[in-house]
Chain A
Amino acid sequence: MIINGVTIDKTFAEAFPMKATRAIITAQNEKWAMISAQAMTGFATSVIACGCEAGIERVLSPNETPDGRPGVAIMIYAMGGKGLAKQLETRAGQCVLTSPTSALFAGIEGGKPIPLGKNLRYFGDGFQIAKKIGGKRYWRVPVMDGEFLTEATTGMVDAVGGGNFLVLAESQPQALAACEAAIEEMRKIPNVIMPFPGGVVRSGSKVGSKYKSLGASTNDAFCPTLKGVTKTDLSPEIESVMEIVIDGLSKEDIDRAMRVGIQAVCDLGAANGIKRISAGNYGGKLGPFHFHLQEIMA
């Protein structure tokens, strides 16, 4: 399959089941909601070492938020429910409770309830106040700038992590420009996050390593500087490869995000140095969800 001069490999991205949740952070204005959201989703690029994968899903207008203030929806993904709950609570406590004017609400109705502000309330040292409104429990925690309002729980649902595609380009600037174009379009798709810095990862990994202590290591088949010394997947003209990783609430959500992302890359096309689209494929060993690139783009 070739789109605008870009070859779409006959391969598939491999993804695995995760647990996910969404939270809504609001603040006096969008600037401070975003600051809090960025803090909460920081250091959360990969479960390999961060404990979770997190990202900003989108900015919410005041009429979309529970308290009528500007907000940001964030999502957190982890390999298990216990780990997800721990990450959510720690991050909410250190990054949202602390952030001026912030409030924190559930972003997923249904699913299994996990603590959002349920335990953060103890920061109130006995002065915290519970309010059950419309079937939901909120906590009002007195803080130095007024009150921190938080919903007690949010929902945890089954999700899919690790959807991905690789952009193979003739130069590093061209690869990055294509990824930036893809991310811009993919951020419009609901229920997905691209957890790496700016949505793009330049250090795609393979499963395993020559070093026993490491579970993952550099994906040498796609490293352009190793073309001559390893079993490479790259043709001579490829000088840079970048990857976009997608976590989503369902396989269909990731399908949609991959489609618009790959399309944005292909729109730049061969004329802008984009040669191929491939995907992280580990022969079916990594996970049960397979995203066939040519089927997605058909």
Chain B
Amino acid sequence: MSALTFTLKQPTAQRVDMSPLVCQKLQGLDVDAIAAIELQNGKSRPRVDELFYITGMNTQEIIIANSTNKLDFIGKELDGGSISVQGDAGAYLGMQMKAGSITVSGDAGLYAACEMKNGLVQIDGNAGDFLGGALPGNKQGMKGGIVLVKGNVGQRAGDHMRRGQILIEGNAGDYCGSRMLAGTIAVMGNTGRYLGYAMRRGTLLLWNQPQLSATFNDCGSHTLAFLPILFASFKSLNSRFAESAVAFNRVQRYGGDMAETGRGEVLVRI
């Protein structure tokens, strides 16, 4: 059975709420029923088949082709199965997803993987601000799973993050790991200002020396036993993180944010 494919007929002027098109909601529906689903598109509610060509049958393997950054909420609350986005994704990609996988060949917008609970989100391009963060007003961001970004990410990646791993091959913007509660953010590239601002717990794993705030204290250089286990867990990923050459277990450890509880850490490869 071939993948259920939604090919965008033409770029939309207004944003589209794609949250109805997730595997668990489409399971058991035939093509006619899927085509009749109405999507919020600006102020109008067009049917799916007005916006997309629909081919394939497998509701547990969805492809969104010709995708643009106007398609929001792709994979919202996804609970198993896979969604492959060919092109860019809009805001709130994989928001609150519980299981399964989402891959994006292009860029993703704001709040990708926000409040995600489990599963895998892979973004081959760049990601916007608040990657894996919490929605405005909420206290906890990402709570589990893995987010892999091959490009750069915007500001406040992992804001209020509670658990899980955010892996960034490129650079991270300002306030990376801000208000983090726990979890791990690994950045191979450079990081911006205010790294780990007000983080309570959690680990920021860096390949390059960051510009640290005065509220992070040097705890010395160490060989940490958990790092080989962490890197070994990346082996199955389609990423530079899976390469043995990038792994290390010797780090400079900075504790902080001392303006908060100071139980967080920034580990920098040495």
The answer to whether A130 and B222 touch across the interface, beta carbons within 8 angstroms, is no
The answer to whether B229 and A147 touch across the interface, beta carbons within 8 angstroms, is no
Q: Which residues of B contact A212 (CB under 8 A)?
A: none
Give the CA-CA distance A69 to B163 in the complex, in Å.
27
The answer to whether A130 and B182 touch across the interface, beta carbons within 8 angstroms, is yes
Task: Say yes or no for B228: interface residue by CB 8 A criterion.
Answer: yes
Q: Which residues of B contact A130 (CB under 8 A)?
A: 182
Residue of A nearest to B227 (CB): A67
- B: residues with CB less than 8 A from A are 144, 163-164, 182, 184, 201, 203, 222-226, 228-230, 232-233, 263, 265
Q: Which residues of A contact B233 (CB under 8 A)?
A: 133-134
The answer to whether B263 and A127 touch across the interface, beta carbons within 8 angstroms, is yes
The answer to whether B263 and A149 touch across the interface, beta carbons within 8 angstroms, is no
The binding surface of chain B is classed by DSSP as: mixed
Given A132-B163, A134-B233, do A147 and B201 touch, yes or no (CB 8 Å)? no
Chain A proximity of B27: nearest CB distance (Å) = 25
Give me the 4 closest cross-chain CB pairs, A-B, nearest first: A134-B233, A149-B225, A133-B233, A103-B225
The answer to whether B229 and A138 touch across the interface, beta carbons within 8 angstroms, is yes
Given A130-B182, A131-B184, A133-B233, do A138 and B263 touch, yes or no (CB 8 Å)? no
What are 5 A-B residue pairs whose CB atoms fall within 8 Å in the complex? A67-B226, A68-B232, A133-B226, A134-B233, A140-B225
Binary interface encoding of chain A residues 81-118 relative to chain B, with 1 for a CB under 8 A from any of its CBs, else 0: 00000000000000000000001000000000000000
The answer to whether B225 and A126 touch across the interface, beta carbons within 8 angstroms, is no
Q: Which residues of B contact A69 (CB under 8 A)?
A: 225
The answer to whether A129 and B163 touch across the interface, beta carbons within 8 angstroms, is no
The answer to whether B182 and A147 touch across the interface, beta carbons within 8 angstroms, is no
The answer to whether A68 and B228 touch across the interface, beta carbons within 8 angstroms, is yes
The answer to whether A66 and B229 touch across the interface, beta carbons within 8 angstroms, is yes
Q: Which residues of B contact A133 (CB under 8 A)?
A: 226, 229-230, 233
Indicate which residue in B222, B226, B263 contacts A131 across the interface (CB closer than 8 Å). B226
> Which among A103, A127, A130, A133 has the greatest number of chain B C-beta atoms within 10 A?
A133
Give the CA-CA distance A131 to B163 in the complex, in Å.
9
Give the CA-CA distance A209 to B184 in the complex, in Å.
60
- A: residues with CB less than 8 A from B are 66-69, 103, 126-127, 129-134, 138, 140, 146-147, 149
Given A129-B263, A134-B233, do A147 and B228 touch, yes or no (CB 8 Å)? no
The answer to whether B224 and A67 touch across the interface, beta carbons within 8 angstroms, is no
The answer to whether B225 and A147 touch across the interface, beta carbons within 8 angstroms, is yes
Q: Which residues of B contact A138 (CB under 8 A)?
A: 226, 229
The answer to whether A67 and B265 touch across the interface, beta carbons within 8 angstroms, is no
Indicate which residue in A67, A129, A131, A140 contacts B228 across the interface (CB closer than 8 Å). A67
Q: Which residues of A contact B164 (CB under 8 A)?
A: 132
The answer to whether A140 and B222 touch across the interface, beta carbons within 8 angstroms, is no
Q: Which residues of B contact A147 (CB under 8 A)?
A: 222, 224-226
Residue of B nearest to A128 (CB): B263
Give the CA-CA distance A134 to B144 in the complex, in Å.
11
A sample of 10 more A-B contacts (CB under 8 A), given A66-B229, A131-B203, A149-B225, is A67-B228, A103-B225, A129-B263, A132-B144, A134-B233, A138-B229, A140-B224, A140-B225, A147-B224, A147-B225
Q: Which residues of B contact A103 (CB under 8 A)?
A: 225
Q: Which residues of B contact A132 (CB under 8 A)?
A: 144, 163-164
Q: Which residues of A contact B182 (CB under 8 A)?
A: 130
Give the CA-CA distance A92 to B126 in the complex, in Å.
45
Chain B proximity of A14: nearest CB distance (Å) = 42
Q: Which residues of B contact A68 (CB under 8 A)?
A: 228, 232
The answer to whether B226 and A140 touch across the interface, beta carbons within 8 angstroms, is yes
Q: Which residues of A contact B203 (CB under 8 A)?
A: 129, 131
Chain A proximity of B17: nearest CB distance (Å) = 32
Residue of A nearest to B225 (CB): A149
Given A132-B163, A146-B222, A146-B223, do A67 and B229 touch, yes or no (CB 8 Å)? yes
